[in-house]
Every structure is written in structure tokens, then in C-alpha cells.
Structure 1
Amino acid sequence: MRLPVAFILITVMIDAMGVGLIIPVMPDLIRDVTGGDLAHAALWGGVLTTVFAVMQFLFGPVIGNLSDRYGRRPVLLVSLVVMAADYVVMAVAGTMWLLLLGRMIGGITAATQSTASAYMADISAPEKKAQNFGLVGAAFGLGFVIGPLMGGLLGEWGTRAPFWAAAGLAGANAVLGYFVLGETVTDAIRRPFQWRRANPLGAFKSLGQFPGFGRLFLVFFLYQVAFFVYPAVWAYFGHARFGWNAGMVGLSLGLFGIMMAVVQGGLIRLILARLGERGTVIYGLVFDVFAFAALAFVTSGTVALILTPLAALGAVITPALQGIMSKAVGDTRQGELQGALTSVSAVAMILAPLLMTSVFAQFTRSDAPVYFPGAPFLLSLGLIVIALAVFLNPRNRAVAA
């Protein structure tokens, strides 16, 4: 693997790790800072998560458009340096307002995933875009697995240790990028920075001019909301349905993340070669219908552990959709497209936890008419069915051929 590609994948992995790395220590850290109880810490934790996602939504297109104008290299390197400094600030923060500021900056710098994806698009032949986006997804999956594991281990050394580790990883990767990352934005594809296209609504309007893109964005959004059922309610679902403790929840999520990395890093190439990008999206959506149905009704913890990694076999939808849209927009707008997709994911990240946890609460409260912890998975199933119907609309065939 070429060093620049390795750098890009490490950057995405660090983005994913940076979120998961601090999850195990956040309750204790917030209680240390505020002096409150666990319930109070949970409320602040929700605020920090929401702020992080809102910043990603607002700044995804900004970062993407900046990379279209000034290049991928400076945007990535500056973001990594700022990310490292931000983790240092959070490591020494003694007030909630400083932690809040840190999460705001973290949400902005985490939007670099759009620039990393744009870099992969720059160096990929049209027929290779989807499978290379799969590598980006695989790196994210590995970060999703490694982050919480490292965070839990480092948390034994204190609530601040994971932040220092995250700062060191981001800083070391910035140094690596300085020496190995070349620039892919040439004068031939460079375009002026425009504020009207560097905000989420402007980016959606601009990209919506491409035939079928509005529906593809809707498919992407519906899938993201449905997929977020895992981080939103899996821990609560495992406890309510199977009596799992934190260790079993972590094991199951680790199995899912590993399989997701295998699928997006390797198996997707075989699926794309056989089905093409459009067929791959259809396969992924149909597979998820059955996966969510199985998880909604499973009653055995052992069977659930088997189903969890198998459910990741549908994790081909995002890179295939990215490949379809990336080929359609051309070389000059890769950053803008990936920034807009980052914003779509951020909106899903904001809405999905509220939606999924509310449904879970309605069907598991003491006076619920029907006790059904799997209800959120049926909601995800419904969203996937709608996404499949939208994608199969004949009007999408021109762009998704």
C-alpha cells in the first residue's frame, strides 16, 4: 500500500478512534468536572454528543470546499494539528465550558473525513472509486473497534489518559502526512471557494442540480438513520433482551466492527465486480431488511452474537452510493460532495439517537402495552424499505447506472 493511502486510512481510523477512545471515561470525567451524579453527567454527555454532530453538519461542506480550493494536503494537516491541540485542551479542562468548546472544535476537525474521502476519489479511477471508499469505511470500522478498547484500558490510568493518547496519535499522524502526503488538487481541477456553496443548504442545492441526486441523498440519509440504531440502543437492547453486561455489549460491537472492516475493505470488491454499484446498493438494502427483522425478534443471546457480525454483511451501501455520486460530479467537486455527505451523516447522528431511544423507551417502560425491546430495529427496517423504494425509482437509473 502506498504511504499516502496509508496516511489517509490512518487519518480516518483516528477520527473514529477519537470518538470511541473517550467514551469509556466521559461519565467519570464529567462527574469529576461538575461534581454531579451519573444522571447529571448523562445529560451533559448528550449535550456534548449533539454539539459534536452539529459542528460536523455545519462545517462538513466548509472543509470540503476549502479542500477543493486550497488542496487536500493543507486542510488535512492543519486539521490534524488542531485536533491534537484540542485533545490537549480537553485533557487539562477543568470546566464544562472548556469541554464543550473542545467538543465543538472536535466536531469541526472530525469533518476531515470528507477531505480524506475526496483524496481517495482524486487518486481512484472511476471504476475503482466505490471499492476505495470501502477501504475508508474499513478504516472507520477498525477505529470503531479499537477506540473504545483503548479508551477502556487507558482509563485505568486516569480519566485524562485517553485524551493525551488521542493527542499523540493525531500529532504523530500529522508528522507522517507532512512527509508522505502529496497534493492531488491541481490547477486543472481547482475551483474558487464560494460561501454560498460552503454551507449545508447551499451544498445540497448545488449538488441537487445533478439528475437523481436529491433521491440519492435521501437514500443515504435514511440508511444512516437506520444504521445508527446500533450505537443508539444496542447497549440498552442487549441488557433488556439478553441480560448482557458491558463486556458482552463491547464484545458484540467489536465483532460487528471487525466484520464491517472485512466487508468494506475486502468483500465489497467481489460484490461490486459481480453486481456493479447499483446492484450492490440494492443487495445491501435487501440484506439489511432481513438483518433488522432477525435482530428485532431474536430472543437468544448466543444467536444474537452470531447475527451481529453477519448483519455487517450489508455494510456495502455507503461506499457504493459514494461511488455512484462521485463519478457523476466530476473531479472539481469531490470535496464539496463528500462535505455534503458528511453533513447528511451528522444530521442522522443528531436525529437517530433521539428517535431510536424514544421508541425503545416506549416499548420497554413498565406500563408499555407490549414489551418489545426490538422495536427500534423494526423502525430501522421500515426506513430501509423506504430507502429501497426510493432507490428503485426508475428516475434514478440515469445516475445510478
Structure 2
Amino acid sequence: MVFIFVTLFIDILGIGIIIPILPELIREFLGGNVAQAGRYYGVIIAVYATMQFLCAPAVGALSDRYGRRPIILASLFGLGTDYLIQAWAPSIGWLFLGRLVAGVMGASITTANAYIADVSTPETRARNYGFVGAAFGLGFIFGPALGGLLGGISLRLPFFVSAGLALVNWLYGFFVLPESLAPEHRSTVSWRKMNPLGSLRQLQAYPLVAGLAVAFLFASMAQRGLENVWVLHTTFRYGWNMQTNGLTLALVGLMAVLVQGFLIKPIVARMGERRTITLGLTASMLAFLAYGLASQGWMVPPIIVFGALAGVALPAIQGLVAGTVHSSDQGKIQGAFTSLTSMTAIVSPLVFTSGLFSYFTSETAPIILPGAPFFLGSLLFLVSLALLARLFRRLPLTTNLALTSALRGRGHSRPDVVSRATIRP
């Protein structure tokens, strides 16, 4: 379990290290043109996300067939090698290749989660998955800060450090990582299991959940937009260097850990899922509007602190979904939401970075407006709020009768679900 925690931490740390560096490296290849850098950066991020989306089900299915150990070790070795390719990349084309391979190898997170499920008991499962959340949080706190500091020495150095971490982890795992999936529990490879869109069909069985999924999609799209455009926006608008970008991204990660690790539980307990979702989406909408309007760099950290309340919205939506869905469908429905998140990771950089940011910082734009992506994000959060308000008004979730009607919307009658689901206003 310790090795898996370290593996996930190093994976996320490696991603975090590169976040403040990659846009600068692309800009260097393009002679310092920010608008062009935005266009290429958005496509590169979309390529990475697309490979993760397509390969995660396949990697998971292969680990069910051949075991977790060989897949995890192969992914670590491939990731380390890929970071070296990016470190030595002589052109932007090599960066594209590097991020494509990184997307394939980054799909090992699916296998790491399966490994945790194999070795956990019902008593330790929640704690072990809590370690997963901690690994992600720590990686996104320390990764950008370290990347910014290393990038100040050399733009290539963060890639070498990430490669070293991955390869040392691979070597350590080669000697100490046991197999968690016994041969008698392995399954054959099914192409059906590898379909990344297959889980989305499960939403048809729950009209109420499908409505929540649409709102989740808009909010997730906006949130991804912030991640994708941050470095280019702050560099263009405020003249921030990599160190400043790394530290502010570390602050974003720290606030996310504090809110999701310590505040979301008491907030939901006091306000209920519906009001928590409304709080989070409203905070998101206002924070994005403030980011778009902020004319000075000193305004950004207070917005980060306030905007951290946004971190309660998406988990609360998923919690609301979990309380609505029958236990036999939980995995399928949560898988559908994971697919939605992956889809937004593909589309968002193309819209926010390659599209809006690139256009509104170019010479052909009628007005220079680097905050345009944040204005779109604020609008998407508003749309999400409006959809949920309409859904909650049409289906008053304070009554079990309303939930029964929602579940029967397409011929489903499941009183067992209603008896379990208590959805507070």
C-alpha cells in the first residue's frame, strides 16, 4: 500500500511539476508568441487527455487479465522514458509525441485504484482511498511549486527530475511490489470493457441523475478551463514568471485540499447536498468573473482563497447521485461521471486555451481580452446553476414521492432506492 501511495504521488507530482513549465517551453519553440502558444498548448493538453480517456478502460482490462504488477511497472518505466523524450525534445512535434505517450502511461492510475481495491478490506477501504486523495492533493501542492523553482534554473530540468522520480519508483517497485490479483481471479480481455463511452449509457436508466450529469458537465468544463489557461493568462496579463505561477498553483492545490479534506463534510452536514451545490457553483461563478476582471496580480490570491469554496460543488453533486442510485448501479453511474470528467478534459483546452485565449490575445482580435476564458467559465457555472434550479423545482427532492417519480421516468419502479435515498434540500 505504501508503494501505491508513493506511485500515485510521484505520478501527480510529475504532472504538477510540468504544469508551469510546458506553456513556457512551447512559447520558446514559437519565438515568444503567446497567442500561438495558447493554440498549441490547448491541443497538446487535449491530446494527453484523449489518450487517457481512450486508454484507461483498456489498461484496466489488461490489468484484470495479466495482473496489476506488470501493468503498473510498465507504465512507470514508460512514463520515465517519456519524460526524457520531452526533456530532449528538439521541436514542438516531439512535445506532441511526448504528451501522447504520457497520456497512455498516465492511465495507470486506473490500475493503481484497482490494486487498492484488491488489497483492501471493507474496514480499510475508505482509509486507503483517502490516501489516494492525499497523494493527489500533495502532488498538486508540491508539484507546481517545485516545477516553477526548477524551471527558473532550466526549462528542461523539471522533465529530467520527473523522469528520475518515475524511473527510481519503477526500479523500487520491480523488487518490492507484489502482485495483488491472484490468477484464479483474473478475467479474459473483453473489447466491451474497453469502450470508454459505454458507461454513459447507464445514465438513461435514471432521468434525475442524467439531469445532474448535464449540470456536472458544464461545471466540470469550466473548472478544467481554469487549469488549462492559468499559466498563459497570468504570464500575459501580469508578467508573472514560472516561480510565481508555480507558487500560486500550489496555493490553489492547498486550498482545494483544505476545502475538500476538512470543510466539505461539515458544510454538507449543515446545509444539505442541494444548498452545498448551490454555494459551490455560486462561488465558482463569482470567482471566475473576478479572475476575468482582475487587472492587477495582487488581486489573484484573495480570489483563489474565496474561489476554493467551488471545491464543494462537484463532490456534492456526486454525493447526491450516490444517494439516488441503487447499490448495484453505483459503479456504473460513477464510471459514467468519470467519463464525463475525461471528456471535459479533452474539450476544455480546445475551447478555453486554443480557442478563446489564443484569439483574444492575437493581433486579429477586435479587442485584447485575456480574461475571456474566465468570463465563459462564469457563464457555464451560471448555466449549471440554472439547470439545477429548474431540476430541483420540477422535482422537489425533499420528498421520497418526487424521487420515486423521477426514477419511474423511464419505466423504473424501485422503492428500494427511495427507502435508501434521503436527499436534503
- Shorter chain as denominator, the TM-score bin is 0.7 to 0.9
Measure the CA separation in 2 of the matches of 1:329 and 1:172: 43
| Match 1:103 to one of 99, 106, 111 | 99
The within-5 A match list for 1:1-400 is: 4=1, 6-26=2-22, 29-30=25-26, 36-39=30-33, 41-121=37-117, 123=120, 125=122, 129=126, 133=129, 135-178=131-174, 181-185=177-181, 190-205=186-201, 207-208=202-203, 211=206, 214-215=210-211, 217-235=213-231, 243=238, 245-246=240-241, 249-268=245-264, 270=266, 274=269, 279-280=272-273, 283-297=276-290, 304-318=300-314, 342-357=338-353, 358=355, 367=366, 375-385=375-385, 388-389=388-389, 392=392, 394=403, 395=406
Secondary structure class of the residue paired with 1:349: helix
Q: Give the Å deviation of 1:7.
A: 3.2
Measure the CA separation in 1 of the matches of 2:204 and 2:174: 37
Letter in 2 for 1:309: V
Residues 1:179 and 1:311: Cα distance change in structure 2 (over 3 Å):
farther
Measure the CA separation in 2 of the matches of 1:178 and 1:387: 50
Any conservation in 1 of the 2:10–2:139 contact (CA below 8 Å)?
yes
Q: Give the Å deviation of 1:287.
A: 2.1
Larger mean Cα displacement after TM superposition, 136-145 or 243-252: 243-252
Report 1 or 2 for greater relative contact order, CA contacts < 8 Å, sequence distance ≥ 6. Answer: 1
Larger mean Cα displacement after TM superposition, 49-58 or 376-385: 376-385
Residues 1:92 and 1:321: Cα distance change in structure 2 (over 3 Å):
same
Q: Give the Å deviation of 1:21.
A: 2.1
Any conservation in 2 of the 1:57–1:342 contact (CA below 8 Å)?
no
Any conservation in 2 of the 1:215–1:390 contact (CA below 8 Å)?
no
Residues 1:42 and 1:319: Cα distance change in structure 2 (over 3 Å):
closer
Measure the CA separation in 2 of the matches of 1:52 and 1:377: 22
Letter in 2 for 1:198: M
Any conservation in 2 of the 1:228–1:352 contact (CA below 8 Å)?
yes
Letter in 2 for 1:293: L
Secondary structure class of the residue paired with 2:197: helix
**RMSD of aligned C-alpha atoms?**
4.4
Measure the CA separation in 2 of the matches of 1:49 and 1:318: 22
What do residues 144-176 of structure 1 show as CA deviations (whole Å, max 9, x unaligned)? 232232223323443332222111111222344
Q: Which runs of 5+ in 1 are unaligned?
A: none
Any conservation in 2 of the 1:61–1:198 contact (CA below 8 Å)?
yes
Any conservation in 2 of the 1:223–1:387 contact (CA below 8 Å)?
no
**TM-score normalized with structure 1 length:** 0.75
Measure the CA separation in 2 of the matches of 1:338 and 1:196: 18
Letter in 2 for 1:153: L
Letter in 2 for 1:384: S
Secondary structure class of the residue paired with 1:13: helix
Measure the CA separation in 1 of the matches of 2:38 and 2:258: 33
What do residues 116-138 of structure 1 show as CA deviations (whole Å, max 9, x unaligned)? 33444553649965x86565344
Measure the CA separation in 2 of the matches of 1:100 and 1:371: 25
Q: Give the Å deviation of 1:61.
A: 1.7
Residues 1:221 and 1:108: Cα distance change in structure 2 (over 3 Å):
farther
Letter in 1 for 2:7: T
Measure the CA separation in 2 of the matches of 1:43 and 1:166: 25
Measure the CA separation in 2 of the matches of 1:389 and 1:250: 37
Any conservation in 2 of the 1:263–1:312 contact (CA below 8 Å)?
yes
Letter in 1 for 2:22: M
Measure the CA separation in 2 of the matches of 1:200 and 1:367: 40
Tell me how many residue pairs correspond in the alignment.
388
Residues 1:144 and 1:71: Cα distance change in structure 2 (over 3 Å):
same
Q: Which runs of 5+ in 2 are unaligned?
A: 396-402, 408-416
Any conservation in 2 of the 1:151–1:162 contact (CA below 8 Å)?
yes
Structure whose CA Rg is larger = 2
Secondary structure class of the residue paired with 2:346: helix
Q: Give the Å deviation of 1:225.
A: 0.8
**TM-score normalized with structure 2 length:** 0.72
Any conservation in 1 of the 2:46–2:350 contact (CA below 8 Å)?
no
Q: Give the Å deviation of 1:352.
A: 1.7
Residues 1:13 and 1:340: Cα distance change in structure 2 (over 3 Å):
farther
Letter in 2 for 1:192: T
Any conservation in 1 of the 2:26–2:37 contact (CA below 8 Å)?
yes
